[in-house]
Amino acid sequence: MAKTINLAVIGYGFMGKAHTNAYLQAQHFFKHDHKINLKVICGRNEENAKAFAETWGYDDVETDWRKVIERDDIDAVDICTPNNSHREIALACAKAGKMILCEKPLALDGTEGEEMVAAVEASGVPNLVWYNYRFLPAVTHAKNIVAAGELGQVFHYRSNFLQDWTISEDLPQGGAALWRLDAKTAGSGVTGDLLAHCIDLARWINGDIVSVSAMTETFIKERVHQETGEKTAVTIDDACAFICRFENGSTSIFESTRYARGHKALFTFEINGRDKSLAWDLHDLNRLDYFDHGVPSDRRGWSNIHCSDGDHPYAGNFWVPGLCLGYEHSFVGAVHEFLSHLDDPSAEKRFADFKDALGTQYVCDAVLESAKTKQWVDVKRV
Ligand SMILES: NC(=O)c1ccc[n+]([C@@H]2O[C@H](COP(=O)([O-])OP(=O)(O)OC[C@H]3O[C@@H](n4cnc5c(N)ncnc54)[C@H](O)[C@@H]3O)[C@@H](O)[C@H]2O)c1
């Protein structure tokens, strides 16, 4: 019989919903020796938390996350709150011996992240950070093709994450809806919010990043703060671009902005090897673009693999060949990988744990430092 994990989710916003859906779906589409029970949803507004519990099937509601951690009937805690709360909640969970699934970025900076890694290592609790894009079939397929050495020597990696939702000067900063624009809560702007995803995939697919040279820009210098009503300086990076070197000798360029008019969430990566190239973008997330230099030159060209067949990663667990998966399946895959690792801790860990996510945090820190000092910065290694 499957072992039940009683789970508490803290925060019922965007990610609270995406994760809850994933816990339910992972258990419908994959088989595990561990089973998640949606025990507690925690949010500060009791009425909203109760409504969420009713919609999604949680047994119980709490309004203070500390109470959640005091409960003996909770085995695992999922942290779906803004970035400045990750550290405190995770440290308390580790101390109480609860498994932790924490949203990205791991922390506000590497110093906080180191404390969190030390805490989970000391307590030995299983831990995951939600770098969920890894688990889209086309992305995992790319990872597997590169890991098999099919590209030959890798020369280049490039990645973008482009949005356009903060262009208006009238948009305030801070508060419940716009905490991403307030560096005190978010830690940084696009670097921790968007580039962190690009960096995680890059490190997973192409290995460690060793040095970076970056620039950032804040286009709108002052915005009204939601909490005070005062116009105050904007301290996040609205845009960030950096070049970097990987440990395998490849060079790279990354860009992220919330000012690319026309782009809602254009997350892309491309990797160029001696023998093959691969490219992917979130707007067409089931497809992996593939170029094979081994094909005779009169037939050679980019092809487009629809990663929906039974032999593509994860796809066979869902529908029949040709039918699409969506954004939500990236979270389903993360839950599946976490449960698989609980089932068999000796199996390869496909998800980012705290230590792995600290590596990404170090790259973000180096990027921000380089932008500030206008110098190349060596990335601290985990
Ligand atoms: N993996 C991804 O692709 C992805 C996407 C979006 C957000 N995120 C990350 O997820 C986290 C949450 O982002 P979101 O978009 O869901 O934000 P959100 O604003 O939609 O939701 C945050 C929730 O946390 C609650 N909250 C805040 N402080 C709390 C506290 N002390 N106790 C209980 N609840 C509290 C808020 O009320 C809200 O319900 C952030 O760290 C963010 O970076 C990750």
**Centre of ligand 1 from the C-alpha of residue 17, in Å:** 10
Residue 78: phi and psi, rounded to 5, are -110, 120
Running DSSP on this structure, what letter comes out for residue 161? E
Supply the pLDDT for residue 87.
Answer: 98
Instruction: Report which protein residue has its CA nearest ligand 1's atom 28.
Output: 81
**Rounded CA gap, 7 and 20, in Å?**
10
For ligand 1, what atom is nearest to the CA of residue 133?
A: 3
What pLDDT, on the 0 to 100 scale, is given for residue 195?
A: 98
d(CA 3, CA 175): 40
Structure tokens at 229: 């009503």
The C-alpha torsion from 100 through 53 and 335 to 163, rounded to 10°, is: -90
Nearest ligand 1 atom to the CA of 83 is 41
Per-residue pLDDT of the chain (382 residues; tens, 9 = 90+): 899 999 999 999 999 999 999 999 999 999 999 999 999 999 999 999 999 999 999 999 999 999 999 999 999 999 999 999 999 999 999 999 999 999 999 999 999 999 999 999 999 999 999 999 999 999 999 999 999 999 999 999 999 999 999 999 999 999 999 999 999 999 999 999 999 999 999 999 999 999 999 999 999 999 999 999 999 999 999 999 999 999 999 999 999 999 999 999 999 999 999 999 999 999 999 999 999 999 999 999 999 999 999 999 999 999 999 999 999 999 999 999 999 999 999 999 999 999 999 999 999 999 999 999 999 999 999 9
pLDDT of residue 201: 99
Residues with CB under 6 A from ligand 1: 10-15, 42-44, 65, 80-83, 85, 103-104, 130, 132, 193
Its CATH class, for the domain covering 3-132, is alpha beta
> Who's near 208: CB < 8 A, 6+ residues apart?
246, 247, 359, 379, 381
Domain ranges of the chain: 3-132, 133-378
pLDDT of amino acid 93 = 98
Computed over every residue of the chain, the mean pLDDT equals 98
The fold for domain 133-378 equals: Dihydrodipicolinate Reductase; domain 2 (3.30.360)
The per-residue DSSP string of 181-205 comes to: G-HHHHSSSHIIIIIHHHHHHHHHH
One-character DSSP codes across 351-371: SB-HHHHHHHHHHHHHHHHHH
Ligand 1 atom closest to the CA of 42, numbered from 1: 33
Whether the ω angle into residue 105 lies within 30 degrees of 0, i.e. cis, is: yes
Alpha-carbon gap, residue 295 to 55, rounded angstroms: 52
- Residue 1's pLDDT is 85
SS3 content of the chain, % helix, strand, coil (to 5): 35, 25, 35
Q: Which residues of 326-342 are buried (b: 16+ CB within 10 A; e: fewer)?
A: eeebbbbbbbbbbbbbb
One DSSP character per residue, 267-334 reads EEEEEEESSEEEEEEGGGTTEEEEEETTS-TTT---EEEE--STTSTTGGGSS-TTPPP-THHHHHHH
Q: Say how many Å lie between the CA of residue 189 and the centre of ligand 1.
A: 15
For 158-216, the pLDDT digits (tens) are 999 999 999 999 999 999 999 999 999 999 999 999 999 999 999 999 999 999 999 99
